[in-house]
Amino acid sequence: MRRMRERGEVPPAEGSSDFIVRKMTVEDLPAVMELEQASFRNPWSAELLKRELAHDWSTILLLEAPTPEGGRRLLGISIFWIVHDEVHVLNVATSPEYRRRGVARCLMESTLAEGRARRCALATLEVRRSNEPAIGLYKSFGFRQVGVRPNYYADEGEDAIVMVLDF
């Protein structure tokens, strides 16, 4: 476990031994941009991701799986901030062909574990009202709806559901 931390890796979620979770580096930017573009109509820009890598309070976790050739394939990412006693989840993305296979669950487990390790008291996030699979996932962790942000996603004018989890 200590060796994993030194390499920037995070212990995998229980039952997910084939997954590797680690912190993003600037060298990962091309693969992360490809995943963002495949996952969202309005993906994060390379410049924004680079800025997140530079902030002490920001973490970008990558979830990878080993390939038969001995390499790794990026399956998902989680971007979150830890500010004071709060984990604020900004973005969770799963490669479209790997959805519903435990990738987002493993990323959320790792994200929340990082918050607990840093003695956070709560986790917050916003999710599109129409994203029922994500809402179901967050509820399975104990997140509850505490509000709505009207027209939060300006591109489509969609509302965001604000969710909170107390640790």
Q: Active-site positions?
A: 126, 138
> Closest by alpha carbon to 4, among 61, 52, 57?
61
Provide the token pair at 60.
């970008």
Residues ≥6 apart with Cβ < 8 Å to 69 = none
> Closest by alpha carbon to 108, among 145, 72, 80?
80
Question: Residue 112 in contact with residue 70, Cβ under 8 Å?
Answer: no
Cβ count within 10 A of residue 141: 14
Q: Following CA atoms 161, 140, 92, 34 in sequence, which dihedral angle do they give, to the nearest 10 degrees? A: -120
Strands 72-83 and 122-128: unpaired
Provide the token pair at 29.
């930017």
Alpha carbon distance 21, 89 (integer Å): 16
